[in-house]
Structure 1
C-alpha cells in the first residue's frame, strides 16, 4: 500500500554541478569574496581608442561637409548649419549626405559614451584581496573542490599557489570586504588570526558549512563587531592607563619620558586600529 503524502519525507534539492565553470560559478555565488574576474584593462582601453579614432575621422568628414554645404549658392544646403528643418528634410535625399553622417556619428557617440561609463565603473571596482586570491587558488587546486579542471587558455587567470601574487595583476573583485579589513588590525584578525584559531582549536566546535569541501564560514559582520569591541576597549583604557601611571610617578624626568612613550603608543594605536591618514594621525597626536 503506497504511503500517504504526509508520510513522504522529501529532502531538499542540492545542486551538484560538474567540475569546471559550473562548479566554480556555484562557489563564487556562495562565497562572494571569491568572485574575482579579469579586468581586461588594456583591451577595454584599446577598444575605446579604436572608437575614438573612428569618431575622429567621422568628425573631420562632417566638418569638411559642413564647410562645403555652407558655401553652396543653390538649394537649401547653405542653411543646414542654421536651420534644422532643412537639414532634417534632406533625410531621404542621397545627394545631401550631411544628415546621414550626423546620424552615424550620433550612433557611434552613444556606443563610445556607453563604453566610457562602463570603463569608469570598472575602474572603481577594487582589486581583490591577497587573502581572497589565495583562498580561490587553494579551492581550485584541491581535488575535492576545483580539482584543476580548467584546460583552456584562461586556466592561468588566477595564478597558482606556487608562484607569488603579482600586485599588478589584471583582476577585480565584485565584492569588497569593506569595513572588515578597513584597518591593519581588522585585516590581520580576519585573514591571519581567524584561520589560525580555527585550525588550532575552533574546528572542533564550528562544523563546516559544506561537508563536501570542508569549508567553514565566518560572518563578516560578526568579525567586524568583535574587532570594533577590541578597538573600543583599547581606546577607552589607553588614556585612563596613562593618567593613572603618570599620577603614581613622582619624578618629573620619568613623567616626561612616560609622556613621550604614551604619545608613541597612541600614534601607533591610531595607525593599527584605524584607517586614519597621516595628517589625521599628526593632528590627533598633537592634540
Structure 2
C-alpha cells in the first residue's frame, strides 16, 4: 500500500541517492537494520569495563581509607579532599572516579537508546517487498548496490533472505485482520475483481494502490457484514420452529459474531468475550 502522492525520481543518480529519494516519498519504506547483536555486544563490553573499573575503585577506596600518613583516609568522607588533593598526594582514586563517570555515561546512553530501538516495529511485508522490487527496477539499474549492504532487504528472487533485525522508522497502522489481508493482497484482488480501480503506482515492477482506496473498500465490507448479521439472524430464527433448532442457530450466530469481531475489528480478547457472553 502507498500513502501520500507519488512523484517522479527522475534526475536523481542511482544508488543511495535514488533509494533515499524513494524512502522519502514513502516513509513506511524507511527500513533499516537495528544491529541488535552489535548493540548488545557494545553494551556487554561497556558493562565488562565498568565491572573492572568498579572493582579497582573499591580496592583503591579501601587502600586510601587505611592510609594514615596523609589525608587520603578522608577521601571517602569529604569530596573536596578527593577532588583537590594536596601536593604530593596520589590522585588514583579521583582519576578512577572520572574515568568511571565517562564510561558510565556511555553505558547509560547506549542502554536507553537500545531500549528505544527495541520498541521499533518490524517492517510491513508489502513495504519490504516494494524495496526489493525497487532495487531490481530499471530505475536503479543492474548495479543498484554492490557493497556488503546489497542484501540487507533481500531480493526479488530471494524475498525471505533479508536481515533478521530490520526495523521501520514509520510503522503502518495496525489494522484488523480483514483489512490487513486485503492490504497485503490488494494488487491481486484488484486485478481479479476490481479492474476499474486505477493503481497509483505501476513503476519499478510493482503495482500499488492508495491506502485510502483499500481502507474505503474494507470499511464498506465491514459495514455491510455488520448490518446483515442481525437481519440474517432474525430471518433464520423466524423460519425455525423447533426449540433445538433455534438453540443451534443462536450458538452458530454467536460464534459468527465472535469471528466477525476478531476479523473485522481491533477488538481486544476481553471485548470479544464480553460480546459473546452478552
- Give the TM-score taking structure 2 as reference length: 0.85
Kept in 2: contact 1:267–1:285 (CA 8 A) = yes
Kept in 2: contact 1:208–1:215 (CA 8 A) = no
Equivalent residue for 1:191?
184
d(CA) in 2 for partners of 1:173, 1:141: 21
Instruction: Single out whichever of 125-134 and 267-276 deviates more from structure 2.
Output: 267-276
Superimposed CA distance per residue, residues 78-119 of structure 1 (whole angstroms, 9 cap, x where no aligned partner): 121111121122298671221111111111111111111111
- How many pairs are equivalent? 272
Greater RCO (CA < 8 Å, at least 6 residues apart): 2
Superimposed CA distance per residue, residues 5-47 of structure 1 (whole angstroms, 9 cap, x where no aligned partner): xxxxxxxx97621111111010011111211111111111111
Equivalent residue for 2:66?
71
CA change 1:164–1:205 in 2 (3 A) is closer
d(CA) in 2 for partners of 1:120, 1:91: 43
Equivalent residue for 1:21?
16
**Residue 189 of structure 1: SS of its match in structure 2?**
helix
Q: How far is the alpha carbon of 1:48 from its aligned partner?
A: 0.7
Q: How far is the alpha carbon of 1:169 from its aligned partner?
A: 1.5
**Residue 154 of structure 2: SS of its match in structure 1?**
coil
Kept in 2: contact 1:91–1:100 (CA 8 A) = no
Equivalent residue for 2:50?
55
**Residue 178 of structure 1: SS of its match in structure 2?**
coil
Equivalent residue for 1:206?
198
Q: How far is the alpha carbon of 1:252 from its aligned partner?
A: 1.7
Q: How far is the alpha carbon of 1:148 from its aligned partner?
A: 4.4
d(CA) in 2 for partners of 1:92, 1:25: 59
Q: How far is the alpha carbon of 1:135 from its aligned partner?
A: 1.5
CA change 1:204–1:215 in 2 (3 A) is farther
Matches within 5 A, 1:46-195: 46-90=41-85, 95-145=90-140, 147-165=142-160, 169-179=164-174, 182-192=175-185, 194-195=186-187
Matches within 5 A, 1:227-238: 227-238=218-229
In the alignment, is residue 275 of structure 1 matched against residue 270 of structure 2? no
Kept in 1: contact 2:53–2:96 (CA 8 A) = yes
Kept in 2: contact 1:51–1:112 (CA 8 A) = yes
Superimposed CA distance per residue, residues 53-98 of structure 1 (whole angstroms, 9 cap, x where no aligned partner): 1111111111111111111113221121111121122298671221
d(CA) in 2 for partners of 1:214, 1:178: 25
CA change 1:111–1:174 in 2 (3 A) is same
In the alignment, is residue 285 of structure 1 matched against residue 265 of structure 2? no
Q: How far is the alpha carbon of 1:177 from its aligned partner?
A: 0.8
Superimposed CA distance per residue, residues 198-251 of structure 1 (whole angstroms, 9 cap, x where no aligned partner): 5458676636568x6587754435544553443344334323432343234322
Q: Which residue, out of 28, 32, 39, partners 2:34? A: 39
